Structure 1
């Protein structure tokens, strides 16, 4: 890698629906000379074809991006706009992924070769940024295969959204937003790249064992040998059928690995007694029932810790759409905005978050670029 350069960035959000006008508002005369990476997160309400072409014309560097279920900037949660950034001072290699349904270990190995993972030196900071189609239903295997093939290079990213219509998620490849696609960028610098993960759920001590499931469909049929919806409701001291969507949102399932809990969000309690999850789950797994605490207080602590050793130039946030829905329900979006206003942030509301080979829900993952 070339000699170290200071990491700098420009970032912002625009609600203008003309793509060129939106980019003008965000970057406001910024000098793109020597840019390393462009990042674009856009509402599916945009004319994404026009935006893709405008982005390709504007950025003299590789660009990664996707459609969203809402955007994030230093003003907080946003809708129907575009959040974008340009970073200077890092080394970038980008590789796209197509035909996600047939992705396997060999393709993962080929991907990390294209990214030049073997060239990373021991004293560098490096991270793989991943963006995957949010409706591919393959994030678990994709993230795991890429992470293992890389030899454990830190991985952070998110799954694209489409404002909760669950119909048309896409990832920016070149100058086109494409369905069924993904992109992986290896980002390297001598220093100043840090990753983070966090959620605000506490373990209630209630344990549920998955006794019958279909991991590929992300469906649990039985917990503790009983119909899954019934066992889950009983764990929350509710009668079967009495749980509201809010209770499901506030009480996710979690898997404990080491000392860390990874969230497995409940999408739906189905009429046949099964549970549809947002993540795959295997039979035999022990699940912990979680309960919500303060989103904004926990987030403030997480960001303070993530940025404690650097002067942040950009904070990328991959934030589950369910966290946004919970903030809306708790009327705490203003508190969220107050927390992120202290940081040079962009991000989006995702259909799933990626962290070190794991696909999670109801979580924020992120990357801090600092000097």
Structure 2
């Protein structure tokens, strides 16, 4: 178990953020690890992210009951990111103390029939309720999205939240299930939900920054999507050729060699409003089509990406955040599963752990990330929270 409460100059003060990690698969042990790890905090909200390979149904309810005054939110994951672990399993909890944070949540059920108009209205209602109750010192706002990672509604949810929340910085994640692509779950106050999204709107007296970065730059090599099903995020043809075969030829491997690790090593970029963003591939199916993690459509031009060193990129970006908001109490990280697969392929996971430790990073592996109005993949998004001024 990791118990890494944030330290403060005065030992008489309780931590504004407490965090815990459990590597157990036993629900009783997981609950004990998480509750004891955040016991020093008086949480107004607890975010818990649990690997789909653990019995999460037996954890969420008891954990919520252990802190009846706190709102519990979270989801299933494709792995954990902590100072000591970057693996497929595990469960983490991050508790936000009511002395420095205020929250309002908006539950969006029945994503199959999601309406952006109704979604915007519900998010706005939650936002205005938070503003009416907000204490004057809590001027630093942010919003966290948690979305069923198999719903294919992330684009609509992100766009709705961005529109409804005015200038509030938005970040988010798609729930995972360890690359099974079978079922992903959202947690809310002890309940385990499918086909659901959560919008968690927060305010703090501490300095905060929502961030997003990736370690790729564009090349001159291009592909064009010539046949696709945007609703299902499936591409049938690239350059008028069968998609999997053409992509395999493009990156120089045999079609039968296409695996999640190969996709992680050879991402594609799309240019949106002058900036490049990753469009990562989830899988190739038996019919030769490619399934993407994000929205894709006919006529889109994709650019081959060249990777930079993930370690150097991570340090550079975290240093810049530290320069802007000061020493970090915590960086809550939503990290694409393809980033961890790339780190495993390159054998650099052990090099990343000291970096996670240096910047107090904790989070989970996702099936996609949200930033502002966009749904992305193979990126790291999150919330950095600085020390007291």
TM norm structure 2: 0.86
Q: Residues 126, 177 of structure 1: CA spacing in aligned structure 2 closer, same or farther, 3 A cutoff?
A: same
Matched, 1:357 2:376: no
Question: Highest relative contact order (Cα 8 Å, sep 6+), 1 or 2?
Answer: 1
Q: Gapped runs of 5+ residues in structure 1?
A: none
Instruction: Provide, for residues 189-215 of structure 1, a one-character-per-residue CA deviation record: whole Å limited to 9, x for no partner.
Output: 244111111111221211222232211
Q: Residues 78, 273 of structure 1: CA spacing in aligned structure 2 closer, same or farther, 3 A cutoff?
A: closer
Q: Residues 235, 15 of structure 1: CA spacing in aligned structure 2 closer, same or farther, 3 A cutoff?
A: closer
Q: Distance in 2 between matches of 1:353 and 1:153?
A: 17
**Which of 66, 70, 74 is equivalent to 1:61?**
70
Q: Residues 45, 235 of structure 1: CA spacing in aligned structure 2 closer, same or farther, 3 A cutoff?
A: closer
**Counterpart mapping for 1:152-167 below 5 A:** 152-167=167-182
Q: Gapped runs of 5+ residues in structure 2?
A: 1-12
What does residue 37 of structure 1 align with?
Answer: 45
**Which of 19, 23, 43 is equivalent to 1:11?**
19
Kindly state the Cα deviation for residue 217 of structure 1 after the two structures are TM-superposed. 1.2
Instruction: Provide, for residues 215-273 of structure 1, a one-character-per-residue CA deviation record: whole Å limited to 9, x for no partner.
Output: 1111122333443334434443x376375434432111111224432111122344544
SS at match of 1:137: coil
Q: Distance in 2 between matches of 1:301 and 1:354?
A: 21
Q: Distance in 1 between matches of 2:234 and 2:114?
A: 22
- State whether residues 11 and 86 of structure 1, in contact with CA within 8 Å, keep that contact through their aligned partners in structure 2: yes
- State whether residues 220 and 275 of structure 1, in contact with CA within 8 Å, keep that contact through their aligned partners in structure 2: yes
**Counterpart mapping for 1:284-363 below 5 A:** 284-308=299-323, 309-363=325-379
Q: Distance in 1 between matches of 2:41 and 2:111?
A: 33
**Which of 68, 71, 85 is equivalent to 2:80?**
71
Q: Distance in 2 between matches of 1:269 and 1:18?
A: 35
SS at match of 2:231: helix
Q: Residues 57, 268 of structure 1: CA spacing in aligned structure 2 closer, same or farther, 3 A cutoff?
A: closer
Q: Residues 135, 28 of structure 1: CA spacing in aligned structure 2 closer, same or farther, 3 A cutoff?
A: closer
Q: Residues 131, 331 of structure 1: CA spacing in aligned structure 2 closer, same or farther, 3 A cutoff?
A: same
Instruction: Provide, for residues 300-342 of structure 1, a one-character-per-residue CA deviation record: whole Å limited to 9, x for no partner.
Output: 2222222322221121111111111111111111012121011
Kindly state the Cα deviation for residue 84 of structure 1 after the two structures are TM-superposed. 0.8
Matched, 1:91 2:99: no
- State whether residues 264 and 342 of structure 2, in contact with CA within 8 Å, keep that contact through their aligned partners in structure 1: yes
What does residue 47 of structure 1 align with?
Answer: 55
Instruction: Provide, for residues 124-176 of structure 1, a one-character-per-residue CA deviation record: whole Å limited to 9, x for no partner.
Output: 32111011111112212222222223234221111111122222210102102
- State whether residues 14 and 83 of structure 1, in contact with CA within 8 Å, keep that contact through their aligned partners in structure 2: yes
**Counterpart mapping for 1:86-125 below 5 A:** 86-88=95-97, 89-117=100-128, 119=131, 124-125=139-140
Kindly state the Cα deviation for residue 16 of structure 1 after the two structures are TM-superposed. 3.1
SS at match of 1:341: helix
- State whether residues 332 and 363 of structure 2, in contact with CA within 8 Å, keep that contact through their aligned partners in structure 1: yes
**Counterpart mapping for 1:124-163 below 5 A:** 124-163=139-178
CA RMSD of aligned residues (A): 2.6
Q: Distance in 2 between matches of 1:22 and 1:247?
A: 34
Q: Distance in 2 between matches of 1:239 and 1:297?
A: 28
Q: Distance in 1 between matches of 2:139 and 2:176?
A: 32
Q: Residues 233, 25 of structure 1: CA spacing in aligned structure 2 closer, same or farther, 3 A cutoff?
A: closer
The aligned length equals 365
